[in-house]
Structure 1
Amino acid sequence: MFLRLSPRHGSRLLTRIYSAVAARRCPSCSAPLPTALPTCPSCSHIEPLPSTLSYHDIFGLPSVPNPFCVNTQTLKARFLQAQKICHPDAWSGKGKKEHDIAAAQSALLNKAYQTLLSPLQRANYILAQQGLSESETDRLGDTELIMEVMEAREELEEATSGEAVELARQRNRDRINRTQKILEKLIGERRWDDAKKAAVELKYWETIENAVKDLE
């Protein structure tokens, strides 16, 4: 008896199979592949990445039970390893088709890496997969939270010494850490609407963090 899958679930299943099986060995020479990419340095075989492949799958990172939990050291190590293998310069003498595929892989690797490295971008990526994409119209809805953001901005604007700026920065980093922990919990519990609100809050705190950097 076969299960009847919708196109959406079928593509997800194929993606998982691709990540778990096809990316392990080269389909051309059967050599073990050093990364989750369908790119073989042994025989110079390279294939386009499936459009349904998630950013987590690209780096062989788990997305369950909580896709927000990412080991950034592992992410960086796997990014550097994969980028070395598919960098366009390494495929410059392999033919135009292979070079173009490598360039596309490299560009996607960079985008996936930057997205998963940043807690805010990572959260927005996860939420987008749930139909809750980031919007320029996203605003804070909690009055107390709005007041807290305004006070944080005023504290930074009124800081006249290096010590005062650093104090404001540390307080804001505490807010960032607090909000990231809330996001991790909400995403782990699949409370998407609440996670969306927390992501908007994190965006405000990171805006203040960037303002502090501009003062340095």
Structure 2
Amino acid sequence: MDDWLKDSDEVKPSWITVDLAIFTVRADQLMVLLVERGLEPFLGRSALPGGYVQKDETLREGALRELWEEAGINGRQLHLEQLGAYGDPDRDPRGRVVTIAYLALGPDLPVPVGGTDAARAFWTPVAELTEVAEGLAFDHAVILADALEEIRRKFEYTAVATAFCGESFTLSELRKVYEAIWGQRLDPSNFRRKVLSTSGFVQSTGEQRLPPTGRPAALYRRGSTWLLSPPLLRGVG
């Protein structure tokens, strides 16, 4: 037996939770899903949706269940991936709780409906989060900051931006997604050239969309490539 176990009076249990940083683009704005906690601890405070993992489910299953129970959103329709583990001893006043954070992305997601221990669920523009983030429950401000940087980084090197688009989209719609996530304007001509010169990034559907005004716009779908070469770097173009 390890010496530290011999010397300790007891082995305190730890619990596992999942938390979700869920993003969508609505009206050309990057939005994050928050819930208002309906129970202690942090009653009435804003938080990322999440909760305890049940003993008979995987981490991913727990994340999908919590998303459905707390916000009424079907996570199986989203891009969902693990962001990281957060386990500082004092992150939860109820005891030693380690959370596995997930990153979820989807196109123009619906108005959420709060449930279980969430009094309500709501979309908040990321651009307005400076004050809200400081008041988030637990260590969710840290998780949210990490999630945002992970998205922005992935936009440079992967095709994950297409997760914010529908099955078909115009290059203008894709550019607006990049602008919303990076918080900067991009030159339309340069963006178009870079996207179309990146092999496998997007694929033409052969169809067009007729806008209310102007010329018809070509429609594209996500291509076969995940890693972009060359990458689309922030601050360039």
Q: TM-score range by the shorter chain?
A: 0.3 to 0.5
Kindly indicate which of the two structures has a greater share of residues assigned to strand.
2
Kindly indicate which of the two structures has a greater share of residues assigned to helix.
1
Structure 1 length-normalised TM: 0.33
Greater relative contact order (Cα 8 A, min sep 6): structure 1 or 2? 2
